[in-house]
């Protein structure tokens, strides 16, 4: 038997009848949508009083944030736990001087993804990479990814990546992008400079969307001519890790 026929029979064995499935799924979406509309109408009736409460709550939050931020700022100044600017920049320069150890892959059959951690994220730690969604434009593909750490990492963290075959650098856009900007591109309605590095720090973590201790959502990009396989190197003070995505 061929692999195709084997695959069909292997999965058809466990497939239940799909009669009525399409109608059931679509109907559930439409029904749920209607109930959401009803909830929206109910919300509209209470929206006036709620918005007043929301305004007061917002004022309270802003005031608390300002006071709290000031206290934290003073505390940090007092304890001086964040490295001084010059020292931090010299650490970044030190990481940028670390040679890239991303291997050259001769054949796609030689390329093995990983290493992975115990939950399937890329990397050997302390910083890991997780996948996300992709968007394309005329230049190439942009991927919305996450880097994360579960323990505090002292100092800057530098991320660099290469196409494993063409050796072209993977580019980064957005708030964590760093290094000299070569070109700019318009993506998702905004014009961004493309940078060759990603510079992270546990104090710039953005925890809005995941439960990891420190998270940096970022966007990387590859041109249309990319090979489909990339190598990543993450350097920090006292560690350096490399992983492949084939």
Q: Interface with other proteins by CB under 8 A: which range of 27-35, 60-68, 70-78, 96-104? A: 27-35
187 phi and psi, to 5 degrees?
A: -140, 130
Q: Shortest approach of other proteins to residue 87 CB, angstroms?
A: 31
- Per-residue x/- track, 95-114, other proteins (CB under 8 A): -------------xx-x-x-
Question: For residue 163, what are the contacts with CB-CB under 8 A and spacing of at least 6?
Answer: 169, 170, 222, 226, 227, 229, 230
Interface with other proteins: number of residues (CB under 8 A)? 54
Considering only residues 117 through 136, tell me which ones interact with other proteins, judged by CB under 8 A: 119-120, 122, 129-136
Q: How far apart are CA 86 and CA 92, in angstroms?
A: 10
| Structural tokens at position 70 | 């000031």
Q: Which of 104, 89, 156, 85 is nearest to 127 (CA)?
A: 156
Whether 194 and 184 have beta carbons less than 8 Å apart is answered as yes
- Per-residue x/- track, 31-60, other proteins (CB under 8 A): -xx---------------------------
Q: Which of 136, 164, 135, 155 is nearest to 94 (CA)?
A: 155
Question: For residue 58, what are the contacts with CB-CB under 8 A and spacing of at least 6?
Answer: none
Considering only residues 126 through 185, tell me which ones interact with other proteins, judged by CB under 8 A: 129-136, 141, 143, 145
Q: Which residues sit opposite 214 in a β-bridge?
A: 149
Q: Shortest approach of other proteins to residue 3 CB, angstroms?
A: 5
Query: Residue 12 or 86: which CB sits closer to other proteins?
Result: 12
Query: Residue 217 or 236: which CB sits closer to other proteins?
Result: 217
Nearest-10 Cα torsion for 205, 237, 154, 217: 10
Residues that bind other proteins (CB under 8 A): 2-4, 6-11, 13-16, 18, 21-23, 25-26, 28-30, 32-33, 108-109, 111, 113, 119-120, 122, 129-136, 141, 143, 145, 188, 220, 222, 224, 226-230, 232, 245-246
């Amino acid at each position: 038997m061929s692999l195709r026929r084997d695959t069909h029979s292997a999965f058809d064995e466990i497939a239940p009848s799909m009669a009525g499935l399409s109608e059931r799924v679509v109907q559930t979406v439409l029904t749920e949508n209607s109930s959401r509309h009803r909830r929206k109408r109910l919300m509209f009736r209470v929206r006036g009083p709620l918005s007043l409460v929301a305004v007061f709550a917002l004022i309270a939050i802003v005031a608390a944030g300002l006071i709290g931020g000031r206290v934290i700022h003073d505390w940090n100044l007092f304890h001086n736990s964040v490295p001084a600017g010059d020292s931090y920049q010299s650490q970044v320069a030190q990481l940028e001087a670390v040679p890239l150890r991303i291997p050259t892959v001769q054949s796609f059959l030689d390329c093995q993804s990983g290493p992975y951690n115990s939950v399937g994220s890329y990397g050997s730690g302390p910083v890991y990479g997780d996948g996300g969604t992709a968007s394309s434009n005329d230049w190439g593909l942009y991927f919305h990814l996450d880097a994360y750490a579960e323990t505090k990492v002292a100092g800057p963290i530098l991320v660099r990546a290469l196409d494993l075959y063409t050796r072209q650098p993977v580019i980064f856009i957005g708030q964590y992008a760093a290094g000299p900007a070569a070109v700019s591109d318009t993506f998702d309605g905004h014009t961004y400079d493309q940078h060759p590095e990603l510079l992270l720090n546990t104090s710039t973590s953005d925890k809005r969307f995941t439960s990891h201790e420190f998270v940096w959502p970022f966007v990387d990009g590859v041109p249309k001519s990319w090979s489909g396989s990339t190598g990543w190197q993450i350097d920090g003070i006292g560690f350096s890790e490399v992983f492949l995505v084939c």
